[in-house]
């Protein structure tokens, strides 16, 4: 039964001037940084020579998977070295970090479009008297717009869900965005037990923007081939990564000066569970008629999904703070969040099932499983492996999906770093960031198809 | 029925001795007797252990991380207490911060009995879950006992002590400043918190977020009622998540002033740095933070606390032992609530400061303040 009074209060909270001020402020700031980044990116693309296109393939993946902690560390060090301390713990530091994170992505998006531009068309246009700028405007720009739009949407999502970066570089309130206000309201509710209607309002506003942007962008980005976003990772990378992590764990166990091994171990377990869980869910969902369900998580903020799970489990009395329990909840949130990205890679591959070969195998006496294993799995294995690694990278870099479930028993590496920054343990935070960057870097593809 | 029992009885009586015993009867007898003796000894020992074991001898204590850290007050107390009363066992449950002590109670699978280090404001907010009358009468008895031992409770601290709240330690809060940085910036030392809204103090101090930190809450509650928070929000350099963070930032030179405990000066004195730092003697008095002990209200806890010989009761009593109160200075860097306690020399001058500001915020007012805090930082909101 709907409580009318509560519904009215929720509605009032949504249109409350103080809430709207945060909404408008967040939106203006994000759009401002996006516009500036797009301008710089376009300028760069306009002057970029084709022989440098491949350079941005790798840079994109660095910036795509690198945690925001890298940007925090970068901006913090740059501002300190430049004696621009006044910008630190204020909006300029946040803008700078956003800008540095977004521009490479924008350039990469444009480069993907440029790769598909017919150079002959440009030459023809120039032969017919068009200037470089006219050729760019008439030929190049129409080709790269869908790619830029898609990248812009992704950047909007990244900035809208930016959490640690705003919390640390902003120095706390009043430098708030929708994402940080959601956390603050949740924290207040958790601490006092008083229901916060503002929390609900912020959740609604943020989700509305993300869904709206997706709705507008889908038509434009449908022209972008799926293969652009496919990832290909070298198999040896996995072995190297495993070895690297093992060496690291042994080293930390030997040094024994901090309890960092626990966050690292929890991160590894979480990443493994999430990666396996995502792939398992993809296979399960593909067998059903509800393939589109995975897109639900595509444009939702991690903290929103995390809050839904947190509130849901609290309501059913699942309050245990054992690390396994907290990790299970966090893993579930991450699986929901990452399913769309994995499905984008795996669904087209699964659709290319080799029916004739499977039938032939059946005719020759193979069982269903034998046929699938020798024909389909053989085909799927490298891509499944890629997806597992990519999901692992996503998982180890995520903060918003784990922060609500963290406690003294459960503190993955990202949160450990966030807490070190929060406690002003800059050295420890930078060490953690380097470890995280190293791991993500090792997992990054060397070849993007 | 009788006929059905007969074959069984026959079978039972027809049981033949084991072959091994038939052949080696002496060995069998000896070994069986040894077995009986062993069983008897083990059984007796076990019974004695069972008699000794008393589930009420274990006291579940909750506190925050600083108090329970390796060099903190509670691990030292636990060791001392268990040495004096080996029958008692103290189990420490740790929360990351003082503000989460009560929130963590519902998640904790163990039944926490005693909460140590609870802030007064948090106690008031949750007073319905704590024992009151029993604790109050015990507090009166305790004060009489202390008097006999010439260790009376500091009178300046006794104002409006909430019912059921046993004070453990206290510290006045104020602005601590870096003399050199203040001189470099040619900043005069402020005399009151309202002066911080002046332009010259822009980005010159660090304060804690009141939604996450008790000292931060005290700061905002100590401000004159009509202080425009949106003006003040432009002034602070950072709104730190905890006291620890803010002080580390201050020591790293991020701002020339920080909102902290007066006892921070004792810390600097112990490191021969007292000449580098100063504290602001606020003209309205220094707001006070009192930390205390509370007992979770359950019938079992009520009964245990009424029994002066129970482990829980003696554990609480132990907090007022002069040796423990002396450790409050050394391990907590807070002030003891008792007079005539041996204290480190760094505290001696600071201890004389007794011009305190009395904060009279009700739990509802605190909740409302915290709820509206973010709103009040916006310029169009009238404070």
Q: What is the pLDDT of residues A221-239, one digit of tens each?
A: 555 554 444 444 444 555 5
**Distant-in-sequence, close-in-space partners of B87: CB < 8 Å, separation ≥ 6:** B52, B54, B57, B311
Cβ-Cβ contacts under 8 Å, A422 against chain B = 241-242, 245
- Report the pLDDT averaged over residues A325-331: 92
State the DSSP string of A250-286: HHHHHH-SSSTHHHHHHHHHHHHHHHHHHHHHHHHHH
Token reading at B312 = 């829980």
Q: Which residue of B has its CA nearest to A89?
A: B238
pLDDT (tens digit, 9 = 90+) per residue, A145-176? 888 888 888 889 889 989 889 998 999 888 99
**Distant-in-sequence, close-in-space partners of A198: CB < 8 Å, separation ≥ 6:** A13, A16, A19, A181, A185, B374
User: Cβ atoms within 10 A of the Cβ of B314, count?
Assistant: 16
Task: Look at residue B342 in the predicted model and tell me its pLDDT.
Answer: 86
Task: Look at residue A411 in the predicted model and tell me its pLDDT.
Answer: 87
Task: Look at residue A98 in the predicted model and tell me its pLDDT.
Answer: 94
* Helix residue ranges per DSSP H, chain B: 2-13, 19-23, 25-52, 65-68, 73-84, 120-125, 133-148, 179-184, 214-222, 229-233, 243-251, 264-270, 299-306, 311-318, 322-327, 345-348, 363-376
Task: Look at residue A61 in the predicted model and tell me its pLDDT.
Answer: 60
Question: Inter-chain contact B239–A171, Cβ cutoff 8 Å?
Answer: yes
Task: Look at residue A351 in the predicted model and tell me its pLDDT.
Answer: 86
Kindly tell me the burial class for residue A161, based on how many C-beta atoms sit within 10 Å of its own C-beta (0-12, 13-18, 19 or more). buried
Q: Nearest-CA neighbor of B245 among B207, B193, B291?
A: B207
Q: What is the 3-state secondary structure (H, E, C) of A28-86?
A: HHHHHHHHHHHHHHHHHHHCCCHHHHHHHHHHHHHHHHCCHHHHHHHHHHHHHHCCCHH
Query: Which of A191-195, B43-47, B357-361 ranks highest by mean pLDDT?
Result: B357-361
Best A77, A80, A89, A199 residue to mutate vs chain B (most B CBs within 10 Å): A89
Interface of A with B (CB under 8 A): 17-18, 21-22, 85-86, 89, 171-174, 176, 181, 184, 187-188, 190-194, 196, 198, 319-321, 407-408, 422-426
Q: Which residue has the tokens 């960031």?
A: A433
Q: What is the pTM of this model?
A: 0.78
Using CA atoms, how far apart are residues B325 and A322, in angstroms rounded to an integer? 35
pLDDT (tens digit, 9 = 90+) per residue, A80-92? 999 898 899 999 9
Strand partners, A232: A447
> Nearest 5°: phi and psi at B263?
-65, -15
pLDDT (tens digit, 9 = 90+) per residue, B13-66? 333 444 444 555 655 566 556 655 655 555 555 444 444 446 578 899 988 877
- Report the pLDDT averaged over residues A358-387: 85
> Nearest 5°: phi and psi at B92?
-95, 125
Q: Which residue has the tokens 């409050």?
A: B328
> From the CA of A358, how many Å to the nearest CA of chain B?
53
Q: Decide if B99 contacts B66 (C-beta within 8 A).
A: no
pLDDT (tens digit, 9 = 90+) per residue, B85-125? 999 999 988 876 666 677 666 655 557 899 998 888 888 88
pLDDT (tens digit, 9 = 90+) per residue, A55-66? 666 666 666 656
State the DSSP string of B150-179: T-PBPGGG-TTPPTT-EEEEEEEEEEEEEH
Q: Decide if A173 contacts B209 (C-beta within 8 A).
A: yes
pLDDT-derived band at B78 (thresholds 50, 70, 90) equals very high
Task: Work out the mean pLDDT of chain A and round it to a whole number.
Answer: 81
pLDDT (tens digit, 9 = 90+) per residue, A227-276? 444 444 444 555 555 566 666 666 665 555 556 778 888 888 999 999 99
> From the CA of B379, how many Å to the nearest CA of chain A?
10
Using CA atoms, how far apart are residues A412 and A395, in angstroms rounded to an integer? 10
Question: Inter-chain contact A423–B242, Cβ cutoff 8 Å?
Answer: yes
Helix/strand/coil for A223: coil
Q: Which residue of A has its CA nearest to B126?
A: A192
CA distances from A332 to A380, B153, B162 (A): 24, 53, 44
- Report the pLDDT averaged over residues B176-190: 94
Using CA atoms, how far apart are residues A125 and A113, in angstroms rounded to an integer? 18
Chain A touched by B235 (CB under 8 Å): no
Task: Look at residue B25 in the predicted model and tell me its pLDDT.
Answer: 61
Chain A touched by B238 (CB under 8 Å): yes
Q: Decide if A350 contacts A387 (C-beta within 8 A).
A: no
* Helix residue ranges per DSSP H, B234-290: 243-251, 264-270
**DSSP 8-state secondary structure symbol assigned to residue B348:** H
| Greatest distance between any 2 Cα atoms in chain B | 112
- Report the pLDDT averaged over residues A366-393: 84
CA distances from A130 to A42, A136, A424, A428 (A): 19, 9, 57, 56
Question: Inter-chain contact A423–B245, Cβ cutoff 8 Å?
Answer: yes
Q: What percent of chain A has pLDDT over 90?
A: 18
> From the CA of A88, how many Å to the nearest CA of chain B?
9
**Distant-in-sequence, close-in-space partners of A316: CB < 8 Å, separation ≥ 6:** none
Using CA atoms, how far apart are residues B15 and B2, in angstroms rounded to an integer? 21
State the DSSP string of B297-329: --HHHHHHHHSTTSHHHHHHHHTTSHHHHHHII
Task: Look at residue B23 in the predicted model and tell me its pLDDT.
Answer: 53
Half-sphere exposure of B220 (CA within 13 A, CB side): 30
pLDDT of A449 over the 80 cut: no
Cβ-Cβ contacts under 8 Å, A425 against chain B = 248
Kindly tell me the burial class for residue A250, based on how many C-beta atoms sit within 10 Å of its own C-beta (0-12, 13-18, 19 or more). exposed
> Nearest 5°: phi and psi at A243?
-60, -45
Helix/strand/coil for B252: coil
Rounded (5°) CA angle B341-B67-B306: 70
Using CA atoms, how far apart are residues A178 and A160, in angstroms rounded to an integer? 7
Using CA atoms, how far apart are residues B263 and B243, in angstroms rounded to an integer? 13
Question: Inter-chain contact A425–B244, Cβ cutoff 8 Å?
Answer: no
- Report the pLDDT averaged over residues A333-348: 86
> Nearest 5°: phi and psi at B362?
-80, 160
Q: Decide if B119 contacts B214 (C-beta within 8 A).
A: yes
Q: Decide if B167 contacts B161 (C-beta within 8 A).
A: yes
Using CA atoms, how far apart are residues A188 and B370, in angstroms rounded to an integer? 8
pLDDT-derived band at A397 (thresholds 50, 70, 90) equals confident
> Nearest 5°: phi and psi at A419?
-70, -35
**DSSP 8-state secondary structure symbol assigned to residue A386:** H
Best B208, B229, B230, B241 residue to mutate vs chain A (most A CBs within 10 Å): B241
Q: Decide if A245 contacts A439 (C-beta within 8 A).
A: yes
Of B99, B211, B371, the CB nearest to A194: B371
Task: Look at residue B54 in the predicted model and tell me its pLDDT.
Answer: 60
Q: Which of A241-255, A286-300, A370-384, B362-376 has the lowest mean pLDDT?
A: A241-255
pLDDT of B5 over the 60 cut: no
Strand partners, B288: B172
User: B residues 285-344 near A, CB within 8 Å?
Assistant: none
Q: Which residue of A has its CA nearest to B377?
A: A174
Rounded (5°) CA angle A322-A327-A329: 105
Strand partners, B259: B175
Q: Which residue has the higher pLDDT, B63 or A321?
A: B63
Of A18, A188, A190, the CB nearest to B381: A18
Q: Nearest-CA neighbor of A18 among A227, A249, A198, A288?
A: A198
Task: Work out the mean pLDDT of chain B and round it to a whole number.
Answer: 81
Q: Nearest-CA neighbor of B111 among B295, B307, B318, B292?
A: B295
Using CA atoms, how far apart are residues A319 and B157, in angstroms rounded to an integer? 38
What b/e sequence results for B181-219 when a residue is b if at least 16 CB atoms lie within 10 Å of its CB, and e otherwise?
A: bbeeeeeeebeebeebbeeebebbbbbbbbbbbbbbbbb
Using CA atoms, how far apart are residues A164 and A327, in angstroms rounded to an integer? 20
pLDDT-derived band at A343 (thresholds 50, 70, 90) equals confident
pLDDT (tens digit, 9 = 90+) per residue, A410-439? 888 888 888 888 778 887 888 778 777 776
Using CA atoms, how far apart are residues A55 and A46, in angstroms rounded to an integer? 16
Cβ-Cβ contacts under 8 Å, A181 against chain B = 374
pLDDT (tens digit, 9 = 90+) per residue, A83-128? 898 899 999 999 999 999 888 888 888 887 888 788 888 888 888 8
Q: Which residue has the higher pLDDT, B110 or A37?
A: A37
Using CA atoms, how far apart are residues A423 and A415, in angstroms rounded to an integer? 12
Cβ-Cβ contacts under 8 Å, A176 against chain B = 374
Question: Inter-chain contact B211–A191, Cβ cutoff 8 Å?
Answer: yes
Task: Look at residue A195 in the predicted model and tell me its pLDDT.
Answer: 79
pLDDT (tens digit, 9 = 90+) per residue, B207-255? 999 988 889 999 999 998 888 888 898 899 999 988 888 999 999 899 9
Cβ-Cβ contacts under 8 Å, B94 against chain A = 408
Q: Nearest-CA neighbor of B328 among B74, B120, B73?
A: B73
- Report the pLDDT averaged over residues B272-300: 90
Task: Look at residue A112 in the predicted model and tell me its pLDDT.
Answer: 79
């Amino acid at each position: 039964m709907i409580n009318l009074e509560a519904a009215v209060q929720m509605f009032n909270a949504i249109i409350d001037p103080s809430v709207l001020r945060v909404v408008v402020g967040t939106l203006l700031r994000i759009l401002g940084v996006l516009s500036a980044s797009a301008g710089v990116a376009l300028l760069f693309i306009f002057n970029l020579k084709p022989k440098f296109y491949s350079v941005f393939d790798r840079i994109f993946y660095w910036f795509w998977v690198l945690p925001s902690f890298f940007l925090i560390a970068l901006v913090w060090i740059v501002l300190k070295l430049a004696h621009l301390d006044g910008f630190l713990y204020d909006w300029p530091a946040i803008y700078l970090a956003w800008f540095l994170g977004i521009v490479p992505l924008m350039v990469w998006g444009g480069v993907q479009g440029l790769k598909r531009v017919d150079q002959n068309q440009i030459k023809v246009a120039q032969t017919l008297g068009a200037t470089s700028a006219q050729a760019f405007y008439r030929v190049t720009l129409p080709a790269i717009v869908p790619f830029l739009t898609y990248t812009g949407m992704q950047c909007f999502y990244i900035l809208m869900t930016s959490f640690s970066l705003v919390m640390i570089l902003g120095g706390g309130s009043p430098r708030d965005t929708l994402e940080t206000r959601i956390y603050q309201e949740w924290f207040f509710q958790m601490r006092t037990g008083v229901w916060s209607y503002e929390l609900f309002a912020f959740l609604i506003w943020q989700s509305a923007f993300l869904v709206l942007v997706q709705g507008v962008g889908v038509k434009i980005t449908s022209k972008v081939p799926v293969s652009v976003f496919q990832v290909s990772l070298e198999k040896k990378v996995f072995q190297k990564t495993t070895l690297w992590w093992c060496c690291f764990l042994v080293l930390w166990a030997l040094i024994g000066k901090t309890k960092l091994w626990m966050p690292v171990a929890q991160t590894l377990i979480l990443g493994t569970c999430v990666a396996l869980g995502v792939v398992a869910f993809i296979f399960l969902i593909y067998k059903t008629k509800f393939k589109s369900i995975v897109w639900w998580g595509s444009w939702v903020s991690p903290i929103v999904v995390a809050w839904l799970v947190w509130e849901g489990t609290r309501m059913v009395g699942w309050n245990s703070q054992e690390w396994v329990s907290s990790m299970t909840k966090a893993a579930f949130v991450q699986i929901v969040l990452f399913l769309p990205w994995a499905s984008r890679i795996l669904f087209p591959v699964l659709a290319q099932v080799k029916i004739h070969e499977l039938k032939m195998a059946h005719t020759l006496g193979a069982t269903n499983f034998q046929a699938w294993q020798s024909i389909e799995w053989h085909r799927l294995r490298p891509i499944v492996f890629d997806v597992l690694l990519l999901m692992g990278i996503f998982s180890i870099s995520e903060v918003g999906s784990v922060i609500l479930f963290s406690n003294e028993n459960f503190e993955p590496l990202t949160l450990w770093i966030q807490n070190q920054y929060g406690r002003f343990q800059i050295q420890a935070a930078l060490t953690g960031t380097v470890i995280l960057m190293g791991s993500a870097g090792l997992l990054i593809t060397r070849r993007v198809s | 029925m009788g006929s059905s029992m007969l074959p069984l009885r026959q079978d039972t009586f027809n049981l033949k001795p084991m072959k091994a015993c038939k052949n080696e009867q002496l060995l069998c007898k000896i070994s069986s007797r040894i077995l009986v003796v062993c069983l008897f000894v083990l059984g007796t020992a076990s019974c004695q252990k069972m008699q000794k074991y008393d589930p009420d001898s274990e006291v579940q204590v909750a506190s925050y991380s600083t108090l329970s850290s390796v060099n903190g007050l509670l691990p030292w107390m636990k060791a001392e207490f268990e040495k004096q009363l080996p029958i008692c066992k103290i189990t420490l449950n740790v929360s990351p911060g003082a503000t989460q002590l009560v929130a963590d109670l519902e998640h904790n699978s163990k039944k926490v009995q005693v909460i140590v280090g609870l802030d007064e404001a948090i106690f008031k907010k949750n007073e319905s879950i704590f024992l009151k009358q029993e604790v109050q009468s015990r507090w009166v008895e305790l004060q009489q006992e202390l008097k006999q031992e010439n260790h009376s409770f500091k009178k300046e601290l006794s104002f409006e002590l909430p019912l059921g709240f046993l004070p453990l330690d206290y510290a006045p809060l104020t602005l601590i400043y870096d003399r050199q940085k203040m001189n470099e910036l040619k900043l005069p030392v402020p005399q009151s918190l309202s002066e911080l809204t002046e332009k010259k103090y822009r980005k010159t101090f660090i304060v804690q977020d009141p939604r996450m930190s008790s000292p931060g809450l005290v700061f905002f509650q100590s401000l004159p009622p009509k202080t425009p928070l949106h003006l003040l929000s432009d002034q602070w350099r950072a709104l730190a998540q905890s006291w620890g963070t803010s002080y580390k930032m201050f020591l790293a030179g991020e701002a020339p002033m920080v909102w902290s405990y007066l006892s921070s000066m004792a810390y600097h004195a112990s490191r021969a740095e007292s000449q580098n730092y100063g504290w602001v003697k606020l003209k309205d008095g220094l707001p006070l933070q009192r930390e205390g002990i509370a007992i979770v209200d359950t019938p079992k806890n009520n009964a245990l606390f009424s029994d002066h010989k129970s482990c829980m009761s003696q554990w609480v009593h132990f907090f007022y032992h002069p040796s423990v109160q002396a450790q409050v200075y050394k391990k907590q860097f807070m002030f003891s609530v008792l007079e005539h306690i041996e204290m480190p020399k760094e505290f001696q001058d600071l201890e004389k400061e007794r011009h305190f500001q009395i904060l009279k915020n009700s739990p509802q007012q605190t909740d409302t303040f915290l709820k509206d805090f973010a709103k009040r930082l916006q310029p169009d909101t009238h404070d």
